Structure 1
C-alpha cells in the first residue's frame, strides 16, 4: 500500500508546474504544506522563504531524543517545452511500466517516495525517531535553497538526498569550476592579415595547453569516481568571417574529485598552464574569468547511514554497491556546512533528467519507497 501511495503522490506533484527558471516553486510548496497539515501524522511544519515567493518547506515528526534522519530533495524542475513532449509534461502518464512527466526523475519521484515512506513509518511505530522532510527551492540554478536551510540551523544525524541514482547508493560526487579564457589580439580586415594580430592563433596554444592539463589531472584516482577532466566547451571569436579577430575565447569546464573547498588551487594551476602563450612570437595577453565554482562531496563508507541504506536495499531485494555520481548535487551544503553525513539515493536515471519525455520506471518508484521506509527503520534500530 505504501508504494502505491507514492504513485498517487507523484501524480499530484507532477501536476503542479515548478519550473526554474523562472523559479516558480510557490504552488508546489503550498501543496506540500497542505499535504503535511492534512496528514494523519502530526507533522510540525515550517515555511522558510529564501526570497519572496520561494519557500522551503520543512516538516518533522517523531522523537528527536532517538536521533534524527533527514529526507530531502528539491521542488524545482527545469523548464519543459510541450512541443518536444509526446504528452503533457505536467500530467503524469503511465505507459508500459514507465511514468512520464517533468520532474519524475529529477526529483519529484523521490519526494513522493520519501513522503509516503516517512508517513508509513511514523504512523506504524509507537516511539518513532525524528524524521525530517525538507523540500527546497532553486537547486537547478544556485543551490541556495539547501544552503539557506543549513545557514538557518537545520541539523540532523544523517540525511538521504533523493537525486536520481537509479537506485544506486551515491557516496561521492564531482565538484566543478568553469572559466572563460580570453586571448587578446589586434583587429584588421581579413584581406590584410599582416596588419592584425589574430587572437585565434593564441587560442590554439591555449587549447593545446588545456589538453595537456586534462591529461595531467586524469592521473588522479578516486575509489568511486571517474577521472577528473578539463574540457573546452564553448568557442567564440569574431565579429565576422572577413575580420581578423581581436579577441578569442573558450569556456573551460573542469571537473574535480572532492577535496578542494575554494577555487584558488585551480586558478593557480590554470595561470601556470597558460603562462607564455604567444602570437607570432610575441607574448599574448591571456585572461580568465571564473563563471562558477561548486564543491564536490563524499562521506566515508562506514557512516551509519550507509549501512542503513545498504541493509534496507538488501532487505527489499535490491542490493546496492556504493558508487560515485558524475553530476553535482546539494550535498556539500549538508555534509560540510551542516555536518550532516549524506548519501544520494533515489529512483530514476540522471540521463532522463531534464529531457523531453522524462520518466522513471514505476517499479523503481515503488522499490524506492520501500527502501526509504526500511532505511528509516534500520537507522533508528526499529
Structure 2
C-alpha cells in the first residue's frame, strides 16, 4: 500500500489528544501483523488509549526504533476548507489534521514495512507509536517502562517529528502545571461576605510574569531561539458572571528549559505560593546528542542532510534519551505547518521519508 493511502487511513481516525485511539491502533496492528511484524499493544492507565510496539527482525539483537505519536491537536478552526479528518489533495499537498504532525512520518514508516520485512536484516527495526504526545508526552513513558521486555537494548531512536528530514541533535525540555485558587461565591455587591478566587490567584500570575522576565538574563545556550529558558502563562480561567464573586480560578503554566536546566525546577518558585494548589500536568527532559555520536552520523547518511544543532520545541526524544536510548529527531514536513488549519505534507516529502526508512533497512542488512 502506498504511503499516501496509509496516511489517508490514519488521518481518517480523529485521534485528538486525550481521546481514545483504539480504532487506529486496530488498523495499524492488523497491517503490521499481515507483514510478519511482532506486535505488542500496551494499554495506558486511562483504559481507552494505547501505545504500540512492533519489531521487524530479531528482537534479541540491538536495533533501531522509529518513533511517532498518533494523537493530534484539535481541528476546530473555521479556516479549514474541508473536513480536517478527511485527507484532501491539492496538487502535491496532502491536507488534513496530523498530516504533518505527525501521521505523515507514521505513514512513511508503515509504507516501508513490506520491503523491510523482505530484507535480510542483521539488526531489527522497531516501530513505536505513542498516544497523548500533544499533552506533554504522557503516553510514551508507559511504553518505555516496558521496553526491556520487548527488545534488546536499542542502538538508537529516530523520532519523526517534522524537521524537513534534517536530523536535530538537541531540543528544550518542558514542564507544565496547573495553579488553582478557591474562593467563596456570593453577590459582587458584598465582597466582604465572599472570597474572590481570581484575586487569590493574581499574586501567582504576577510571580510567573516576574519569573519569565528574570529568566531572560539567566543561563543561556546560543543553539536555541530564544537562547534562554522560558516560562509562560498559557491559559487563565475563572468566574461565572461579572456580578458573582468567583469561587474558583485556575491558570496553566509551562516552562521550556535549555539543556542542563531542569524544567520542573524552573517552576519551583510557584510551588509554595499561599492560597494556591498545584497540579503537575506533564514534563519531559531536554535532548542533547553529540554531533559525533554514531546515531547522528547514521541519521545524516540515511536522510541526506547534515544535522541541525537544536530546536526550541520539544519531543519524546528526550524521554528516550533519559531511558538510556540515544535519540535524534528527524521527520518529514515543516513544524511551522503544525497545529494550524489546512495542515499539510507534500507527496514528495512523504516519499522522501519512506526512502529514509528504507535506507535505514539497507544499512542494517
TM range (shorter): 0.7 to 0.9
Secondary structure of the equivalent of 1:149? helix
Q: Does 1:129 find its partner at 2:126?
A: no
- Alignment partner, residue 10 of structure 1: 7
Q: Does 1:329 find its partner at 2:324?
A: no
Give the Cα separation in 1 of the matches to 2:113 and 2:214: 46
> Shift in Å at residue 373 of structure 1?
2.2
- Alignment partner, residue 88 of structure 2: 93
Secondary structure of the equivalent of 2:168? strand
Give the Cα separation in 2 of the matches to 1:150 and 1:236: 34
Q: Does 1:26 find its partner at 2:26?
A: no
Query: Which structure shows the bigger proportion of residues in strand conformation?
Result: 1
How does the TM-score come out when normalised to structure 2?
A: 0.80
Give the Cα separation in 2 of the matches to 1:156 and 1:106: 25
Give the Cα separation in 1 of the matches to 2:326 and 2:78: 41
> Shift in Å at residue 35 of structure 1?
1.1
Q: CA-to-partner distance for each residue in 1:48-100, whole Å, 9 max, x for gaps?
A: 32354534332212245663111121222334349653123233222122111
Give the Cα separation in 1 of the matches to 2:248 and 2:60: 62
> What RMSD in Å do the two structures reach over aligned CA positions?
3.6
| Structural mapping, 1:133-144, within 5 Å | 133-141=127-135, 143-144=137-138
- Alignment partner, residue 37 of structure 2: 43
Q: Does 1:308 find its partner at 2:298?
A: yes
Give the Cα separation in 2 of the matches to 1:252 and 1:288: 13
Give the Cα separation in 1 of the matches to 2:34 and 2:190: 75
CA 1:197 to 1:77, structure 2 compared with 1: closer, same or farther past 3 Å?
Answer: closer
Q: Does 1:156 find its partner at 2:142?
A: no
Give the Cα separation in 2 of the matches to 1:30 and 1:245: 45
> Shift in Å at residue 137 of structure 1?
2.8
How does the TM-score come out when normalised to structure 1?
A: 0.77
- Alignment partner, residue 347 of structure 1: 332
Give the Cα separation in 1 of the matches to 2:240 and 2:67: 47
CA 1:223 to 1:251, structure 2 compared with 1: closer, same or farther past 3 Å?
Answer: same
CA 1:82 to 1:31, structure 2 compared with 1: closer, same or farther past 3 Å?
Answer: farther
Give the Cα separation in 2 of the matches to 1:139 and 1:216: 29
Q: Is the 8 A contact 1:75 1:108 kept in 2?
A: yes
Matched positions, count: 356
Q: Is the 8 A contact 1:118 1:131 kept in 2?
A: no
Secondary structure of the equivalent of 1:169? coil
- Alignment partner, residue 215 of structure 1: 213
CA 1:175 to 1:190, structure 2 compared with 1: closer, same or farther past 3 Å?
Answer: same
| Structural mapping, 1:174-185, within 5 Å | 174-180=172-178
Give the Cα separation in 2 of the matches to 1:196 and 1:56: 47
- Alignment partner, residue 68 of structure 1: 63
> Shift in Å at residue 29 of structure 1?
1.2
Q: Which residue among 258, 272, 283 is the counterpart of 1:294?
A: 283
Secondary structure of the equivalent of 2:120? coil
CA 1:38 to 1:180, structure 2 compared with 1: closer, same or farther past 3 Å?
Answer: closer
Give the Cα separation in 2 of the matches to 1:328 and 1:372: 22
Q: Does 1:116 find its partner at 2:126?
A: no
> Shift in Å at residue 358 of structure 1?
1.8
Q: Is the 8 A contact 1:236 1:248 kept in 2?
A: yes
- Alignment partner, residue 278 of structure 1: none
CA 1:366 to 1:216, structure 2 compared with 1: closer, same or farther past 3 Å?
Answer: same
- Structure 1 stretches lacking a partner, 5+ long: 275-284
CA 1:178 to 1:8, structure 2 compared with 1: closer, same or farther past 3 Å?
Answer: closer
Q: CA-to-partner distance for each residue in 1:113-146, whole Å, 9 max, x for gaps?
A: 12233443442x4344211112223333363432
| Structural mapping, 1:170-209, within 5 Å | 170-180=168-178, 209=207
